[in-house]
Amino acid sequence: MAELAPILIAGGGIGGLALSLALAGRGCRSIVLEARHEFAAEGAGIQLGPNGVRALQHLGVADTLHPKAGEPEALEVRDGGTSRLLATLPLGRWIADRHGAPYWAVHRGDLHAALLTAAGKQSAVSLRTGFAVTDLADEGSGVEIASATGDRVAGRALVGADGLWSGVRSTICPAIAPQFVGSTATRTVIPAADAGRLAFPSVGLWLSPGANIVHYPVRGGTEVAVVVIAVEAWEGRDWAAEADRTALMGRVGGFHASLIEPLAGARSWRKWALHRLAPLPRWSAGRITLLGDAAHPMLPHLAQGGVLALEDAVVLADCLEHHPGEEATAFLAYERQRRERAARVQAASRRNGRVYQMGPAFAWARNAALRLVPGARLMSGYDWLYGWRFDATR
């Protein structure tokens, strides 16, 4: 039997690389085409719930990443202004026992590097940089894509893993574009030695009207990643725009000194504008489909953007394996398994954002409820999220 042509993957971020690995694990060839001139390891922290770690185990990269992962013991929720502890939701052993995989916090660069190194070792994966997909055509029996410089590549199907501003998505759902939500996320990483009380092996979530701050250990606990999410009218498309430190400190002025003081020494703050996209009417058209942020960008309030891209990758590769040579059918099967879950996570992330940044009147009721309900009960409300197993969704 003739060997099948490769699957083309537009975008070598977390989702695109994960898909190339999932396909290689099934003996399926792929070409990853990344617009940038090198596979970049930008970013700060990224939390990986048990559902994400389970996907990494499936992809064979969990063992490589493990030494660099922080394993937070709990999620501590605090009132931003007073630093009063509102709730302690168990992570650590509790969540690992509950879902059969741990909860990790890693540097985004470490996650990306682990995926890239593993993909680079696979003979079934070709990695190509400096190829910005600008044109594509579904020829019926295959797909041909072209780059900004006029290079052309053919394959049997195309997966758009090209992120929030996906060009592939605009060919499937032309009238739909992300909308700015009026907030930015500004991130940094500080050495644990300078982090004061933030160096605890927990995820910290501090709530305040119009802003919330999250921190957690990365790089095996030697560094602490910090993200400030606050109302700000800046809607640039850059993932790593330099943030004005003085303006940022002004926006977090209402937070307790024990949180702000360790942040004062942080050298570099980078920000990106938060956008939302309503669930798409479809992810696929013929031999073309979408994955990760291209299909369902996430607000960061549930820390699931990268994780859902990992889940997508595993499910999509599984569908292609179960429908050999029938890519359009495989893509519809993949969509059926993923769309409802992705929409649910998108909605839950938005809801969390509203709850985290409530104004003073509602914040009082929220804080009272958080203090009353046991943390384990609050966390078990996320069993539907963290308990995901790809083989149970077929």
Region binding ligand FAD by CB under 6 A among candidate stretches 27-35, 79-87, 169-177, 340-348 = 27-35
Q: Give the span between the Cα atoms of 77 and 366, in whole angstroms.
A: 11
327 touches ligand FAD by CB under 6 A: no
Quick one: DSSP state of residue 319?
H
Pick from 108, 215, 219, 301 the residue near ligand FAD by CB under 6 A.
108
Q: Give the span between the Cα atoms of 11 and 136, in whole angstroms.
A: 14
217 touches ligand FAD by CB under 6 A: no
Pick from 72, 217, 262, 292 the residue near ligand FAD by CB under 6 A.
292
- Answer positive or negative: Cα dihedral of 359, 354, 293, 266: positive
Nearer residue to ligand FAD within complex by CB, 293 or 327: 293
311 touches ligand FAD by CB under 6 A: no
8 touches ligand FAD by CB under 6 A: no
Strands 104-107 and 45-48: antiparallel
Pick from 133, 248, 266, 274 the residue near ligand FAD by CB under 6 A.
133
| Cβ 234 to ligand FAD shortest distance, Å | 16
What is the pattern of x (binds ligand FAD, CB under 6 A) and - over residues 249-278?
Answer: ------------------------------
305 touches ligand FAD by CB under 6 A: yes
Nearer residue to ligand FAD within complex by CB, 155 or 375: 155
| Cβ 330 to ligand FAD shortest distance, Å | 19
Pick from 8, 21, 31, 33 the residue near ligand FAD by CB under 6 A.
33
Pick from 6, 11, 204, 217 the residue near ligand FAD by CB under 6 A.
11
| Cβ 9 to ligand FAD shortest distance, Å | 9
22 touches ligand FAD by CB under 6 A: no
Measure the CA angle with vertex 381, ends 220 and 55; round to 5°. 45
Region binding ligand FAD by CB under 6 A among candidate stretches 42-50, 55-63, 201-209, 384-392 = 42-50
Nearer residue to ligand FAD within complex by CB, 62 or 370: 62
14 touches ligand FAD by CB under 6 A: yes
Q: For residue 310, which of 145, 114, 170 has the smallest C-alpha distance?
A: 114
Query: Phi-psi category of 27—alpha, beta or left, where left has phi over 0 and alpha has psi -120 to 50?
Result: left
Region binding ligand FAD by CB under 6 A among candidate stretches 49-57, 157-165, 210-218, 341-349 = 157-165
178 touches ligand FAD by CB under 6 A: no
Q: How many residues bind ligand FAD (CB under 6 A)?
A: 33
Nearer residue to ligand FAD within complex by CB, 98 or 137: 137
Nearer residue to ligand FAD within complex by CB, 83 or 170: 170
Secondary structure of the chain in the HEC alphabet? CCCCCCEEEECCCHHHHHHHHHHHCCCCCEEEECCCCCCCCCCCEEEECHHHHHHHHHHCCHHHHHHHCECCCEEEEEECCCCCEEEEEECHHHHHHHHCCCCEEEEHHHHHHHHHHHHHCCCCEEEECCCCEEEEEECCCCEEEEECCCCEEEECEEEECCCCCCHHHHHHCCCCCCEEEEEEEEEEEEEHHHCHHHHCCCEEEEEECCEEEEEEEEHHHCEEEEEEEEECCCCCCCCCEECCHHHHHHHCCCCCHHHHHHHCCCCCCEEEEEEECCCCCCCCECCEEECHHHCCCCCHHHCCHHHHHHHHHHHHHHHHHHCCCCHHHHHHHHHHHHHHHHHHHHHHHHHHHHHHCCCHHHHHHHHHHHHHCCHHHHHHCCHHHHCCCHHHCC
Nearer residue to ligand FAD within complex by CB, 294 or 342: 294
313 touches ligand FAD by CB under 6 A: no
Pick from 50, 70, 306, 353 the residue near ligand FAD by CB under 6 A.
306
Region binding ligand FAD by CB under 6 A among candidate stretches 35-43, 207-215, 248-256, 380-388 = 35-43
Please report, as ranges, the residues that interact with ligand FAD according to CB under 6 A.
10-16, 33-36, 42-44, 46, 108, 132-133, 161-163, 167, 187, 239-240, 292-294, 298, 300, 305-306, 309
